[in-house]
Amino acid sequence: MKLRLIIPPAPRTRSFAIPISITQIKAFLENHGCLVSTIDLNILTRKNAQFFDHIFNKFDEDGVRSYLVSSEQNTYLRAMVQFFFRTIDLKDPSPVGFSITGYDELLTALVLAKALKAKCPDIKIILGGRFLTANQYVILDDFDFIDFVIWGAGEKGLLLLLKHLQARNNKLDHIPGLIYRKNKKILKNKKAAIELSESPMADFSDLPVELYFKQKDHNRFPLPYLISTGCLNRCCYCSIWPGCSSVTTKPPQKVVTELQDLIEKYKVNRIDLVADSLTGQAKYLEELCDAILVNKLKIRWGTQISLNETRPGLFKKMKAAGCELVQIGIESGSQALLIKMKKMIQIDAVPKVLKEIHKQGIISRCNFIAGMPFETREDFEATCDFVRKNASLMDVVVVDSFKLYKACIIFYNPTRFNIAQVKTETDKVLKYRPYCEHMENGQQSFASTRKFISIKTKLLQTIAKESGAEVIGSV
> Where do runs of H (alpha helix) occur along 5-48?
21-31, 41-45
Shortest separation between residue 292's beta carbon and ligand SF4, angstroms:
24
DSSP three-state, residue 4: strand
Q: Which is nearer to ligand SF4, 81 or 394 (CB)?
A: 394
Q: Phi first, then psi: give them for residue 144, nearest 5 degrees.
A: -75, -10
Q: How far is the C-alpha of 450 from the C-alpha of 370, rounded, in Å?
A: 11
Q: Which is nearer to ligand SF4, 278 or 397 (CB)?
A: 278
Shortest separation between residue 241's beta carbon and ligand SF4, angstroms:
4
C-alpha neighbours within 13 Å on the C-beta side of residue 468: 8
Q: Let me know if 52 is exposed, middle or buried by CB neighbors in 10 A (0-12, 13-18, 19+).
A: middle
Q: Which is nearer to ligand SF4, 276 or 400 (CB)?
A: 276
Cα-Cα-Cα-Cα dihedral of 170, 171, 172, 173, to 10°?
140
How far is CA 267 from its chain centroid?
26
Chain residues binding ligand SF4 by CB under 6 A are 231, 233-235, 238, 240-241, 276-277, 279, 329
Q: Which is nearer to ligand SF4, 234 or 431 (CB)?
A: 234
Q: Let me know if 192 is exposed, middle or buried by CB neighbors in 10 A (0-12, 13-18, 19+).
A: middle
Shortest separation between residue 118's beta carbon and ligand SF4, angstroms:
40
Q: Which is nearer to ligand SF4, 160 or 240 (CB)?
A: 240
Shortest separation between residue 250's beta carbon and ligand SF4, angstroms:
17
**For strand 178-182 and strand 323-331, is the pairing parallel, antiparallel, or unpaired?**
unpaired
Q: Which is nearer to ligand SF4, 127 or 328 (CB)?
A: 328
Shortest separation between residue 375's beta carbon and ligand SF4, angstroms:
16
Instruction: Please spell the DSSP secondary structure of 456-467, one letter per residue.
Output: HHHHHHHHHHHT
DSSP three-state, residue 184: coil
Q: Which is nearer to ligand SF4, 234 or 428 (CB)?
A: 234
Q: How far is the C-alpha of 331 from the C-alpha of 348, rounded, in Å?
A: 14
Q: Which is nearer to ligand SF4, 245 or 443 (CB)?
A: 245
In the chain, % helix, strand, coil (3-state, to 5) comes to 45, 20, 40
The size of the chain, in residues, is 475
Of 96, 135, 151, nearest to 431 (Cα)? 135
Q: Which is nearer to ligand SF4, 248 or 260 (CB)?
A: 248
Q: Which is nearer to ligand SF4, 23 or 277 (CB)?
A: 277
Shortest separation between residue 378's beta carbon and ligand SF4, angstroms:
23
Shortest separation between residue 240's beta carbon and ligand SF4, angstroms:
4
CA distances from 18 to 40, 215, 223 (A): 8, 11, 6
Q: How far is the C-alpha of 356 from the C-alpha of 362, rounded, in Å?
A: 9
Q: Which is nearer to ligand SF4, 304 or 441 (CB)?
A: 304
Shortest separation between residue 383's beta carbon and ligand SF4, angstroms:
16
Instruction: Please spell the DSSP secondary structure of 336-353, one letter per residue.
Output: HHHHHHT----GGGHHHH
Of 401, 398, 393, nearest to 468 (Cα)? 393
Of 137, 79, 63, 62, nearest to 106 (Cα)? 137
Q: Which is nearer to ligand SF4, 393 or 408 (CB)?
A: 408
Residue 140 amino acid letter: L
Shortest separation between residue 344's beta carbon and ligand SF4, angstroms:
8
Shortest separation between residue 53's beta carbon and ligand SF4, angstroms:
35
Shortest separation between residue 368's beta carbon and ligand SF4, angstroms:
13
Q: How far is the C-alpha of 44 from the C-alpha of 26, rounded, in Å?
A: 19
Shortest separation between residue 428's beta carbon and ligand SF4, angstroms:
31
Q: How far is the C-alpha of 133 from the C-alpha of 194, rounded, in Å?
A: 14
Task: Please list the residues that pair with 178 across neighbouring strands.
Answer: 150
